[in-house]
Chains A and B, each alone.
Chain A
């Protein structure tokens, strides 16, 4: 850790204050609110302290080696100083305003916690001196500000938060890839070294550098609300609480712009191709935003679309800065001044919208119309913002828009001097003027609706509301409005100084001749825009975008077709349906097929087959032997029955019967075998003999015979 600690204090303090504020919230709400206001004021003081050091000692640096691995590198030069101050100022004003705005909200401690975290990380982005540091704070900022968007926890807020988070995460990841690619190619991420590092390898590895640049443009552009990544912006900004919307619109988008400027000015310095890319994207963003804003019937949504459009203006400036090469002073100064203007303007306008919401809890133009009548303070503050953003001469927006317009004109002149086609740049100039006109038109629409027209039913109720904001809020609205007026009326003393201070960031040099903002040529551009604005307002808005409701009262119509929404039309189907289905299906298939199970099953089947085959092999061999070599003999079993005598006799008789059968009794052969018959007879005889010999009568008979023989012997011998 070494360097100028003033810078470090600016960064760590909000993080510490966030925890402090949260803890204070557990104690008492009053203390917490005061802690918060005190913190943001102190933060402004710290920033001014750093600024004081800058004017004394020149550029400040702070290095913390090893922070998040690759180290933290903070730097304070003119532009960073300016934007650091703008950021701190905006936080201070919204912080002061928040106390009244949030008094009926829940979960305020949570909100303040993330509010201060975002402050620290946003300042981290603006003070970062290398892209790695930028990225770290950028990610923290993206995630912490998510909590703002969903603070209401209503379905609309949740849905907007979803898309906000998605874009933030995707943007961050793509940016990370860009950083890796860049780091791998050139070996450094420090902004001041990038240009020198890129130059020698541009020839050889131009493709990789462009790829890295595009990735980073994607990431930063997503946060800036650049077309076609703007989809989150008109949704997320309106649903957040008003002070948060002011910051989201006014300053968080600028972090994206900051990144785009760094990439443009340090990596692709004076690269016309890159400049053209940014210019085209900026032009589309500018026009699309204004177009959406004209159709919108919601106060904050209109302001959000307007933010997108103004970011487009800034991107046009960024593109022109690179296209004009070394003669880019006008574009560089215009870009920077428009950033500052837009931040201040949106601060005022969103806080004014917050005042409306705080009282009515509605933002639909049909419901809030007439609220601003008989409220001169609110009306005049809002008017300052509206005039300024519309680019009316005398207000600050006019100065920056004039510079941007001049730069386009200058480039067109340069092209025609080189006899190259100028039609496209003329086209862009006209789109520029047209968008300026549309800006005037939609701001008129808002102003007329809220402050001039009458509400058909509730006008009386609105008119009686005199105590619609407290002193703190008045202060928070008044200070930026006064600043804005000062800047607009004294551009040479204020805005030129700011531009001188900051232009070196974009490598712009003070122009050879001073620009006369109120010269005829410059006023002409404003006049054209004003005319277009009047035409659009009366020709389009009053004629087609307003109609009569069922009761016959005039009202604003929401004619924007529902289906025409890039998010629902393209992004969600592509990401949720197509890619999720594809990857999910493939992996699901992999899961369901049970690769291993299949493998195992096949293996088991195969091995089982082999085993069974082996098993049966031995049997088969044995069988084979048994049926061939070891075949058992086929002799007939002869069962001998009967005695020798009867058998012989029977056989003789059988042979005789056979002869007889062959000869005499051919038709009626004798079937019986005499062997069997004799054997049966013999058996019967033997059994009979046994029976006889065993019987008593047989014994008696033998005894009688014996007696008879004895008698014969006695008689004759």
Chain B
């Protein structure tokens, strides 16, 4: 397959999204148009992955040896596949969810454009391209947070904008240093830094790495830049679910992976103070996220805090600075995408069907909405890491990577303790919801909830698929792991 085709999945949704408002399509036609657009894009993206062109495609030269170029490698393919799979389902869900909202046309326009930009991040050949797409992602997705146009939403979108742009500035510093010390910004497994050029400046390089880690980490909500994520849960559920559990935040984690393994090189960082610094940051984020999730009683915000901690699981895997760690990180990146989007969609379905937003209002709702809450329990158990569900696989891998690193640096055992604590907290914040929903105290107001029932198929279908994947990977994950192992060792 010629590498020219790589451009299609990126440009198609961006153009399609931009043109869509001009067509003045009415409700159903518009939905059909969008769904087809998204599906075609996904098919193209998957096709690109299956018949992967070996070389990249240069769109244009920026200056010097900086190119704006697209290319698919192993890591990018994994991310592309996750997004390409989830986006059509989330769009389907969004149609039903947004039915009674206003300004849906502009919402869907930006929603679709975000798809293309996210694919751009996944397919970027070098740091410059990724950086540009990264900035673009902030700009197109800020409208989605703003969409309810309430005071809170506007505030949240402003916070999101400041944090992201500010973070990107940090990342820009890294870009410059990579160009200086590496000569190229292409992503090459093992890093591009030229040790002759670096010379005695290792400390500076490490400082820059730390800055860039924070910079890209803003989107992955690492401490202390986690504040925007829980606030952004005012956005409509399809956004919080897809963007703030998968696309945007995973882009952050993905960028950190690129930065660590493909720019700076894990070997350079392993064992240095910067290594422990980033590990500490990540561990603190895990502790913070899971504890706050327990304290939070707003259903969606609770899940948002859970996302904070789970993203840091991904980063914890990444910061193990070993192929095993990268494998674990990618594994959690993929699996968390499925289980968290499932959990969020459940919360959204509850909100949509019953207008209930707080955990203590959910008493007995499982009886009224059995389908939704069954899926929620499956996704929730997976989040806790119960064996037999997908989440266990990735957590085991992260812990195993930490143990492996612990042989050399006992500090890494701390990561295992953190995982233990966090799993406990996860159990508390998930199971309290599940128990409330399924085992209400006697005499709770069940009569009032007679009207509430499961949503229609557009919402149920994605939920069912997510739950099925969580269970499938929980029981048999060998193909996935084989693929990820190959990617982590740089042979795919």
Q: Interface residues, chain A, CB within 8 Å of chain B?
A: 65-70, 135-136, 139-140, 143, 150, 153-155, 158, 161, 165, 169-170, 172-174, 176-177, 180-181, 183-184, 580, 583-584, 586-588, 590-591, 594-597, 599
Please determine whether A66 and B420 come into contact, CB atoms closer than 8 angstroms: no
Residue of B at shortest CB range from A165?
B431
Majority secondary structure of chain B interface residues (helix, strand, loop or mixed): helix
Please determine whether B416 and A177 come into contact, CB atoms closer than 8 angstroms: yes
Contact of A169 among B224, B225, B427, B439 (CB under 8 A): B427
Please determine whether B475 and A68 come into contact, CB atoms closer than 8 angstroms: yes
- Residues in chain B near residue A69, CB distance under 8 A: 393, 396-397, 477-478, 481
Please determine whether B291 and A65 come into contact, CB atoms closer than 8 angstroms: no
A139-B386, A139-B388, A590-B223 known; 8 new pairs, CB 8 Å cut-off, are A150-B439, A153-B441, A155-B441, A165-B435, A173-B423, A184-B404, A587-B287, A595-B224
Residue of B at shortest CB range from A153?
B439
A205 → B minimal CB distance (Å): 10
CB<8 Å pairs between A and B, sample of 13:
A66-B477, A68-B474, A150-B439, A169-B424, A173-B420, A183-B400, A184-B407, A584-B295, A587-B288, A587-B291, A590-B288, A596-B225, A597-B227
With the chains together, A170 CA to B407 CA distance in Å?
25
Please determine whether A587 and B295 come into contact, CB atoms closer than 8 angstroms: yes
State whether A584 and B291 are in contact (beta carbons under 8 Å apart), knowing that A67-B476, A173-B424, A180-B400 are contacts in the complex: yes
- Residues in chain A near residue B442, CB distance under 8 A: 153-155
Bitwise interface map of B from 417 to 438 toward A, beta carbon under 8 Å scored 1, else 0: 0001001100100010001000
Query: Is the CB of B375 closer than 8 A to any CB of chain A?
Result: no
Contact of B292 among A150, A161, A587, A596 (CB under 8 A): A587
Please determine whether A158 and B225 come into contact, CB atoms closer than 8 angstroms: no
A556 → B minimal CB distance (Å): 28
Contact count A vs B, C-beta below 8 Å? 108
Give 9 nearest A-B pairs by CB, closest first: A66-B478, A595-B224, A184-B403, A136-B387, A587-B291, A169-B427, A583-B291, A69-B393, A139-B387
- Residues in chain A near residue B392, CB distance under 8 A: 68
- Residues in chain A near residue B21, CB distance under 8 A: none
Query: Is the CB of B299 closer than 8 A to any CB of chain A?
Result: no
Total number of B residues with any Cβ neighbor in A under 8 Å: 44
Bitwise interface map of B from 376 to 416 toward A, beta carbon under 8 Å scored 1, else 0: 00000100111110001100110110011011000000001
With the chains together, A139 CA to B292 CA distance in Å?
26
B128 → A minimal CB distance (Å): 27
With the chains together, A590 CA to B406 CA distance in Å?
28
With the chains together, A143 CA to B400 CA distance in Å?
24
Bitwise interface map of B from 463 to 492 toward A, beta carbon under 8 Å scored 1, else 0: 000000000001111100100000000000
Please determine whether A153 and B440 come into contact, CB atoms closer than 8 angstroms: yes
A61 → B minimal CB distance (Å): 20
- Residues in chain B near residue A590, CB distance under 8 A: 223-224, 288
Residue of A at shortest CB range from B381?
A143
Please determine whether A596 and B224 come into contact, CB atoms closer than 8 angstroms: yes
Please determine whether A67 and B475 come into contact, CB atoms closer than 8 angstroms: yes
- Residues in chain B near residue A597, CB distance under 8 A: 227
- Residues in chain B near residue A67, CB distance under 8 A: 475-476
Query: Is the CB of B163 closer than 8 A to any CB of chain A?
Result: yes
- Residues in chain A near residue B435, CB distance under 8 A: 150, 158, 161, 165
State whether A136 and B477 are in contact (beta carbons under 8 Å apart), knowing that A69-B396, A177-B420 are contacts in the complex: no
Please determine whether A584 and B223 come into contact, CB atoms closer than 8 angstroms: no
Q: Interface residues, chain B, CB within 8 Å of chain A?
A: 163, 223-225, 227, 287-288, 291-292, 294-295, 381, 384-388, 392-393, 396-397, 399-400, 403-404, 406-407, 416, 420, 423-424, 427, 431, 435, 439-442, 474-478, 481
Please determine whether A68 and B287 come into contact, CB atoms closer than 8 angstroms: no
- Residues in chain B near residue A136, CB distance under 8 A: 387-388
A110 → B minimal CB distance (Å): 9
B236 → A minimal CB distance (Å): 24
State whether A583 and B287 are in contact (beta carbons under 8 Å apart), knowing that A67-B476, A69-B396 are contacts in the complex: yes
With the chains together, A172 CA to B400 CA distance in Å?
17
Please determine whether B424 and A170 come into contact, CB atoms closer than 8 angstroms: yes
- Residues in chain B near residue A184, CB distance under 8 A: 400, 403-404, 406-407
With the chains together, A584 CA to B289 CA distance in Å?
11
Max count, chain B CB within 10 A of own CB: residue among A153, A154, A173: A173
A183 → B minimal CB distance (Å): 7
Please determine whether A180 and B416 come into contact, CB atoms closer than 8 angstroms: yes
With the chains together, A169 CA to B386 CA distance in Å?
9
Residue of A at shortest CB range from B296?
A591
Please determine whether A169 and B384 come into contact, CB atoms closer than 8 angstroms: yes
Residue of A at shortest CB range from B228?
A596
B382 → A minimal CB distance (Å): 12
Residue of A at shortest CB range from B404?
A184
With the chains together, A180 CA to B405 CA distance in Å?
13
- Residues in chain A near residue B223, CB distance under 8 A: 590, 595
B162 → A minimal CB distance (Å): 8
With the chains together, A588 CA to B305 CA distance in Å?
12
A219 → B minimal CB distance (Å): 12
With the chains together, A128 CA to B444 CA distance in Å?
43
- Residues in chain A near residue B478, CB distance under 8 A: 65-66, 69
Residue of A at shortest CB range from B423?
A173
State whether A68 and B393 are in contact (beta carbons under 8 Å apart), knowing that A173-B420, A584-B295, A591-B292 are contacts in the complex: yes
- Residues in chain B near residue A150, CB distance under 8 A: 435, 439
- Residues in chain A near residue B224, CB distance under 8 A: 590, 595-596, 599
With the chains together, A184 CA to B399 CA distance in Å?
10
B311 → A minimal CB distance (Å): 16
Please determine whether B294 and A584 come into contact, CB atoms closer than 8 angstroms: yes
With the chains together, A528 CA to B8 CA distance in Å?
88
With the chains together, A23 CA to B399 CA distance in Å?
39
Please determine whether A135 and B439 come into contact, CB atoms closer than 8 angstroms: no
Please determine whether B477 and A158 come into contact, CB atoms closer than 8 angstroms: no
With the chains together, A599 CA to B393 CA distance in Å?
38
State whether A158 and B288 are in contact (beta carbons under 8 Å apart), knowing that A596-B227, A599-B224 are contacts in the complex: no
- Residues in chain A near residue B439, CB distance under 8 A: 150, 153, 158, 161
Residue of A at shortest CB range from B417?
A177
- Residues in chain A near residue B163, CB distance under 8 A: 596
A326 → B minimal CB distance (Å): 34
State whether A140 and B386 are in contact (beta carbons under 8 Å apart), knowing that A165-B431, A184-B404, A587-B288 are contacts in the complex: yes
- Residues in chain A near residue B407, CB distance under 8 A: 184
State whether A180 and B477 are in contact (beta carbons under 8 Å apart), knowing that A68-B392, A595-B224 are contacts in the complex: no
Max count, chain B CB within 10 A of own CB: residue among A165, A588, A591: A591
- Residues in chain B near residue A155, CB distance under 8 A: 441-442
With the chains together, A156 CA to B255 CA distance in Å?
50
Residue of B at shortest CB range from A595?
B224
- Residues in chain B near residue A153, CB distance under 8 A: 439-442
B476 → A minimal CB distance (Å): 6
A99 → B minimal CB distance (Å): 24
Contact of A594 among B227, B295, B399, B400 (CB under 8 A): B227
With the chains together, A68 CA to B223 CA distance in Å?
32
- Residues in chain B near residue A588, CB distance under 8 A: 292, 295
Please determine whether B387 and A135 come into contact, CB atoms closer than 8 angstroms: yes
With the chains together, A150 CA to B366 CA distance in Å?
15
Residue of A at shortest CB range from B392?
A68
State whether A68 and B440 are in contact (beta carbons under 8 Å apart), knowing that A174-B420, A584-B291, A596-B224 are contacts in the complex: no
A259 → B minimal CB distance (Å): 15
Please determine whether A181 and B403 come into contact, CB atoms closer than 8 angstroms: yes
With the chains together, A611 CA to B386 CA distance in Å?
56
Residue of A at shortest CB range from B425?
A583
- Residues in chain A near residue B387, CB distance under 8 A: 68, 135-136, 139-140
With the chains together, A65 CA to B475 CA distance in Å?
11
With the chains together, A153 CA to B291 CA distance in Å?
28
With the chains together, A174 CA to B392 CA distance in Å?
14
With the chains together, A305 CA to B385 CA distance in Å?
32
B373 → A minimal CB distance (Å): 13
Residue of B at shortest CB range from A65?
B478
A108 → B minimal CB distance (Å): 15
With the chains together, A172 CA to B396 CA distance in Å?
13
With the chains together, A25 CA to B287 CA distance in Å?
43
